[in-house]
Structure 1
Amino acid sequence: MRDVASAPAAFPPPAGGLADTVFERAEENPGLPLLARHAKGAPGGWETVTAGRLRDEVLGLAKGLVAAGISPGHRVALMARNRYEWTVLAHALWTVGAEVVPIHPTSSRDQVEWILRDAGCVAVAVEDELGVMTVGTVCAVLPRLRHVWQLDAGALAELTERGVDIPLTTVESLRRIVLPDSTAAVTYTSGATGRPMGCALSHRGLAYPCDVLLAGWGHTAAQPGEQPSVLAFLPFSHVYGIMIQTMCLRGGILMAHEPEMTEEALASALSTFRPTYLYGVPSVFEKLYKTFLRAAQQAGRGALFERAAQTARDFAEAEERARLGIGTGPGLDLRLQHALYERTVYRKLRSALGGRARRGTSGGSSLSRELSLFFEGIGLYIHDGYGLTETSGGITMQPLGREKSGTVGVPLPGTDVRVAEDGEILVHGPSVFQGYIGDEARTRSVLRGGWLSTGDIGRLDREGYLTITGRKKDLIVTSSGKSVAPAPLEQRLRMHPLIHQAVVVGEDRPCMGALITLDPEFLSHWRAALALQGDFEGRESREESALREELARAIASANSTVSRAESIRVYRVVQEPFAPDNGLLTPSLKLRRDVIARHYAAEIDAMYKARSRAARGGRTPEPADWDEPDDVFR
């Protein structure tokens, strides 16, 4: 092995199952608010649910599940958005020893059929009639499926009523035989590079990282004397969402369910619920930054915002150097500038996010160092975490007082990380999964001696900080044999406010290329601002020319971070966004690179051929022919 990061001393292992948390919380403090949901007429539009009430609802539903024939080891799918009923039903299932199988509610018919059949589910809870119809089309090939429960039709209330006569002792006895190593959930991988695989995650595996994080970092989730609170909007169908849910309940953190992931819904929820801690994926924080910038430009303060943003990054970088012992911290001039912008800019930005949060976590993919420094500089430290479905969630964290932006921190206590000779990250620890259900060969291929081959590539520095550079399967090999990790280039491209998404291509091509989608809201704002600079004559050609210049600057900025051989030389702007609905993104918002490459095969061929013809003039193209970026617009 090339690099090894040994974790600090291990944390005491959890006991029992995840459902025990609900009962223990109710016993300790029955009046503690644990969950929140939208409710008309409630203060701020949110109704809170206490630990005691949650325990009672979970217990009543667990009795109903027993009456319905749900037994230990049975697998039950939950196909719904982030709503209160998801949390209640999951813990009721864990109470009776059943296993939860999360399914994203927008999954296609084929995806639903595959997961229900592969997991052998005996029941599925769906949100609405659309979910019922989707499951109904595949019931004929699912002989083990006995129940389809519709949440919007009052299914949980009916189950609870059905279990009224079940003795309390029956449920209690079932809960007490759930062991830490019992399977709690079968969570499916994103399927970015093939058919999703069901990862068996134990109660111990899901609880361990949460308990470690709560013990070491839980006090940072809110100001002293204030109950921490989190807005849960990322899907519970992904391990990241399940981890947040588990951590909130085990840590007594008030968790609000936000089922909508639209910009308007999140903005409203942030301003009314006012969480003390934020979490999300990089695209969420990228969108927040662009929203801040667009709002400032619309108010005629774009230049002020950009100066404030640069000051924030400079201030955070100086602070980072000081805490790492390699600098003296911000100088007097920088402190004065930062203090000025704190009063005029930063405070307003934090207020737009509810005003109470001071820290947060980004996961799912790498957060750019530039963006991390910006948020830290405005008084909201967003650290980048690392984990995957096979590790039950997070496995690294930034050490308090020694945070280093651009990395994902160091291994959690009890978890060890190695980097193999080929750059692949290997992980060992109590949160590593039990295996892929029904696929022992695949399990053996990624689990060797307890070490998980993650498929991610990265590096460890001398202090043990881990940096993720990409996925092994995502590496692009050009026709000249150069291997390129696309993620850093894509990350840099997305930092430009006009660029919404980017996919770097170039397999067996003479150079790197990119497919780009534009941010419709920022594009509309940009066009409106551009129109003020002159009359309507020649407006279309002026817009296209200006847009080409903007994208050329974005590509030049991305290229400045890589070698000449790795830089982007051709690109195309495409109209259709990459989304889960069109199959170009996974439900967890990861790029389906193979699908995108097939979907846009003609466009990719066209942009390389157009550039090649223009460059070579009838001769064999040389590397110098690709020195200047070219583009093709649709």
Structure 2
Amino acid sequence: MADAHAGDKAATRTQDAGADTPVQPAGEWPNLPAAFFDLAHRHGERPFLWSRRGGQWTPSSWTEIARQVRALTHGLIRLGLEPGERVVLVADNRPAFFVADMAIMTAGAVTVPAYTTNTRADHEHVLADSGAALAIVATPQLGERLLPAAASVESCRRAILIDNPDKAPADAPPLSAWADVMADGAKDDDGAAPGTPAAPDDTACFIYTSGTGGAPKGVMLSHANVLANCRMAETLLKPVLDDEIFLSFLPLSHSYEHTAGQFLPMILGAQIYYSRGVEHLASEMTEVRPTMMTAVPRLYESMHQRIRRGVRKGSRLQRLLFQRALQLGKQRYRHGRLPLWLRPADALLDRLVRDKVRARFGGRLKGMVSGGAPLDPEIGLFFTALGLRILQGYGQTEASPVVACNPPAKPKLHTVGPPLDGCEVRIAEDGEILVRGPNVMKGYWRLPEETARTVHDGWLYTGDIGGFDHEGYLMVTDRKKDIVVLSGGDTLSPARVENVLTRQPEVAQAMVHGDGRPHLVALLVPDETFLQQWAAANGKPHDLASLHDDPALADALETAVQRVNGELSVSEKVRRFAIPPEAFTIDNDLLTPTMKIRRHKIRAAYGTLLEQLY
């Protein structure tokens, strides 16, 4: 492992820690509950958390959420929850997630949010590894996998079900109804903000890494870690902040949404609307009209394809206007401004084209923050040219999680922006990105040796490769372990090739392979709309399992591959490809919950198929 202090060749960037601070600096709150109750007292009856009930968006005020947190805190203490004990929380995005999360922390315990997509075996690992004392689950359906797992783990004394079932399942630990725990706790509530035994450096939560490789590890994040990261993000966004509305749809069990989609809006005094899921997102954006959103590249890729398909269906005039708006928008981004003679046409296209695109996203977005995986710069440029501000960032769960992000005033799409205020980033001699600051984790739960390998002399070794441009913007080129070295010695980034492939209208997902081999091959999953149209035109069933080895479908995808190869260097070209019988999904364990491909799982599932391509 490279030395974090290795010589003059290592580059370091950090933002000055004395920038503008919020009215109540995050550092002055000793813990997250203290921050919440202070803000709840300040904001009172203002709307805070919104959910959709009976076809209508319904708000809960800061005062009401504070009352619920107090009641649940006392209820958990009545159930015997002790400071430092762990509570696994499995819930969709809803106000009750926030209430449970905050109540657990207020009791001095540790929240362990787990993915709603976890299998029973996944839940058993999280429950047993964390030594969870309690489990909270939202619905009977989610309980079907969690409750049997909890019953098999000795440390788990009880489970709490938020939505009451008709009857308790047979294979479950002792069960309590959420409403009953709240009612019991309300008896001890005197209306005052409860004190919490949590100190700044005490663990607030374990975030289990989603696992693109290996078994998930419990990342211990302290109250100070999360508060520091919120302060850093607030400083970055300060120039555009006002009365913010967030639409939360990424899983709150992921550190990205847990910090940036829950605690950052809390610190900002913003309103949070909880999405019912990605399938409802398009309509919800027009209803909620968010000012801020956090998303992953897969969402932008999907939106890009959808907009492109809509344009192709339009009239010739509409297509020409769209292409001209795109062209001028790209020119403005690249040169900073347009020549005077082009500005009237650009202003007209803003009203005719860009306003309609912005309206599909609610019409008042100040920023769409992209994180969780690298964003293809061409996709970012597409949205930027159409008047939507894309702010690509970079982080890791181990950094609470945000390390760097593009500033609203000057985004650079081929970068992830400069390091956040107070976060130091260094490039080791072998190109690895190292991070130091108050947002770096306490360590991995019960893995001291793994912690020592990952955090050395205060520096977090990210496992990512990158560098800085001349203005101090960080560029991330790849995961250290994902870099492909061909047998001829050429080194390349699989993510770059995959991004170009998935930009094609025929391709939804791609995974390239070739480490130690003479050239690249790939697995390609066809775009659903393309596949449906192709199957209808060719009189074949619309079923990937039936079509994956159809030579005619492979010929249709070959056209897309040849287009891609025309953009790539000789060593990056994909020489052969295969079509798997099913898409990469969370359910088949080939995607993480934030929609990153799990290379090691895909290679394990399709290793023989990949080798047959050589």
So what's the TM-score if we normalise by structure 2? 0.89
* Cα distance in 2 for residues equivalent to 1:236 and 1:17: 19
| Corresponding residue for residue 453 of structure 1 | 461
Structure 2 counterpart of 1:251, which letter? Answer: L
Superposed, 1:224-623 pairs within 5 Å as 227-243=243-259, 244-262=261-279, 265-300=280-315, 304-305=318-319, 308-309=322-323, 311-312=325-326, 314-322=328-336, 329-525=337-533, 545-557=555-567, 559=568, 563-608=569-614
Q: Is residue 31 of structure 1 aligned with residue 45 of structure 2? A: yes
Q: CA deviation at 1:474?
A: 0.9
Superposed, 1:3-18 pairs within 5 Å as 3-10=11-18, 13-18=27-32
5+ residue gaps, structure 2, are 1-8, 20-24, 166-176, 540-549
Please say if residues 14 and 208 of structure 1, whose CA atoms lie closer than 8 Å, have aligned partners that are also in contact.
Answer: no
Tell me the matched-pair count: 578
Query: What SS class does the counterpart of residue 395 from structure 1 fall into?
Result: strand
Q: Which moved more, 1:417-426 or 1:564-573?
A: 564-573
Taking a change above 3 Å as real, the CA distance of residues 400 and 294 of structure 1, as seen in their structure-2 partners, is: closer
Structure 1 counterpart of 2:253, which letter? Answer: S
Q: Which moved more, 1:75-84 or 1:434-443?
A: 75-84
Structure 2 counterpart of 1:233, which letter? Answer: F
Structure 2 counterpart of 1:260, which letter? Answer: G
Q: Which 4+ runs in 1 deviate beyond 6 A?
A: 526-531, 540-544
Q: Quote the sequence identity (%).
A: 33
Query: What SS class does the counterpart of residue 92 from structure 2 fall into?
Result: coil
Please say if residues 90 and 138 of structure 2, whose CA atoms lie closer than 8 Å, have aligned partners that are also in contact.
Answer: yes
* Cα distance in 1 for residues equivalent to 2:530 and 2:312: 10
Q: CA deviation at 1:483?
A: 2.5
| Corresponding residue for residue 625 of structure 1 | none
| Corresponding residue for residue 186 of structure 2 | 164
- The CA deviation string for residues 76-128 of structure 1, in whole angstroms up to 9 with x for no partner, is 01112111211111011111111110110111122111111111111111122
Taking a change above 3 Å as real, the CA distance of residues 541 and 487 of structure 1, as seen in their structure-2 partners, is: closer
Taking a change above 3 Å as real, the CA distance of residues 313 and 22 of structure 1, as seen in their structure-2 partners, is: farther
Q: Is residue 214 of structure 1 aligned with residue 234 of structure 2? A: yes
Q: CA deviation at 1:341?
A: 2.5
| Corresponding residue for residue 65 of structure 2 | 54
| Corresponding residue for residue 34 of structure 2 | 20
Q: Is residue 196 of structure 1 aligned with residue 202 of structure 2? A: no
Taking a change above 3 Å as real, the CA distance of residues 529 and 556 of structure 1, as seen in their structure-2 partners, is: farther
Taking a change above 3 Å as real, the CA distance of residues 528 and 182 of structure 1, as seen in their structure-2 partners, is: same
Query: What SS class does the counterpart of residue 521 from structure 1 fall into?
Result: helix
- The CA deviation string for residues 114-162 of structure 1, in whole angstroms up to 9 with x for no partner, is 1111111111111222333323433454111011112211832111112
Please say if residues 225 and 400 of structure 2, whose CA atoms lie closer than 8 Å, have aligned partners that are also in contact.
Answer: yes
| Corresponding residue for residue 618 of structure 1 | none
| Corresponding residue for residue 4 of structure 2 | none
Q: CA deviation at 1:22?
A: 2.5
Taking a change above 3 Å as real, the CA distance of residues 355 and 170 of structure 1, as seen in their structure-2 partners, is: closer
* Cα distance in 2 for residues equivalent to 1:464 and 1:95: 39
* Cα distance in 2 for residues equivalent to 1:58 and 1:26: 11
Q: CA deviation at 1:359?
A: 1.9
* Cα distance in 2 for residues equivalent to 1:77 and 1:247: 22
Please say if residues 483 and 494 of structure 2, whose CA atoms lie closer than 8 Å, have aligned partners that are also in contact.
Answer: yes
Please say if residues 43 and 269 of structure 2, whose CA atoms lie closer than 8 Å, have aligned partners that are also in contact.
Answer: no
5+ residue gaps, structure 1, are 323-328, 532-539, 609-634
Q: CA deviation at 1:285?
A: 0.9
Please say if residues 75 and 101 of structure 1, whose CA atoms lie closer than 8 Å, have aligned partners that are also in contact.
Answer: yes
Q: CA deviation at 1:165?
A: 3.1
Q: Is residue 40 of structure 1 aligned with residue 57 of structure 2? A: no
* Cα distance in 2 for residues equivalent to 1:167 and 1:318: 58
Query: What SS class does the counterpart of residue 566 from structure 2 fall into?
Result: helix
Q: CA deviation at 1:40?
A: 1.6
| Corresponding residue for residue 145 of structure 1 | 156
Taking a change above 3 Å as real, the CA distance of residues 498 and 304 of structure 1, as seen in their structure-2 partners, is: farther
* Cα distance in 1 for residues equivalent to 2:41 and 2:30: 16
Query: What SS class does the counterpart of residue 163 from structure 1 fall into?
Result: helix
